[in-house]
Amino acid sequence: MRVEVVADEAALAIRAADLVCDAVRAKPATRLGLPTGNTPIPAYAEIARRVAVGEADFSRADIYGIDEFAGVARTTPGTNSMFYRQYVHFGQRALHCPNPSATEPDEHIRAFADALRRAGGLDLCVLGIGVNGHIAFNEPGSPRDSRARVVELTPASREAHATTFGSLDAVPSHGMTLGVADLLEARRIVVLVSAARKATVVRAAIEGAQTAGVPASWLQSHGGVTWLLDAAAAAALSRGT
């Protein structure tokens, strides 16, 4: 596992864009998993800028969503599908997202994961983490061998999305997610984390025991993970980086 620390959110966006663009340059037909959340938005803007000026070419890349809410229309503000439409302005040749209005969400997300595996799996998966250590919608309690499934969202995760859905009541109770085991099948993983409020969970995920209580700690068992942190998110790490 590599841990890279940069000064601040702006530097994080540039470095994240470097890592993703380098991967796509090395393999133009990359299958790329991308997270939602506030953290990656500046990186997505930087990648889109590079594509717009011809410094990067994502025309052969396939982009995969890694989780989605369940039980709402795809066009509902707040869904991950809408997030990608709003922020991922590159490589939309093939944007593969679970359908939040699937009538059988458990079957749907399993079929989504199977199709991804049949296509060859993710070459690079970018992840964020929640303050409770979740990765995608794998909330605390998710075992290492968990697969794509429907999950009940924690109150904290629902609250984090209240603004984009318009109110807490409007946030669905359940989501669909690739499982921890599915995410760990990506050949490379880059985890983006900024802000002091994540410093404690970053330390637990990187330096603590591997445990379902902190799903991001399972990333320690993958040989190709790069943690990309800003200084505030790295502040509680005990070892030099």
Chain residues that interact with ligand PGA, rule: CB under 6 A: 37-39, 128-130
CB of residue 146 to ligand PGA, shortest distance in Å? 16
In the bound state with ligand PGA, the residue whose beta carbon lies nearer, of 27 and 200, is 200
CB of residue 16 to ligand PGA, shortest distance in Å? 12
User: Is 106 known to be catalytic?
Assistant: no
User: Is 68 known to be catalytic?
Assistant: no
Q: Which of 68, 108, 123, 134 is catalytic?
A: 134
CB of residue 213 to ligand PGA, shortest distance in Å? 16
In the bound state with ligand PGA, the residue whose beta carbon lies nearer, of 38 and 241, is 38
CB of residue 165 to ligand PGA, shortest distance in Å? 14
Q: Which of 9, 123, 139, 182 is catalytic?
A: 139
In the bound state with ligand PGA, the residue whose beta carbon lies nearer, of 37 and 208, is 37
* CA–centroid distance for 192 within its chain: 8
Q: Which of 132, 174, 207, 222 is catalytic?
A: 132
Q: Which amino acid does the sequence have at 55? A: E
User: Which of 214, 204, 211, 230 is CA-nearest to residue 43?
Assistant: 230
User: Is 132 known to be catalytic?
Assistant: yes
User: Is 22 known to be catalytic?
Assistant: no
In the bound state with ligand PGA, the residue whose beta carbon lies nearer, of 41 and 111, is 41
128: left (phi over 0), alpha (psi -120 to 50) or beta: beta
State the catalytic residues.
67, 132, 134, 139
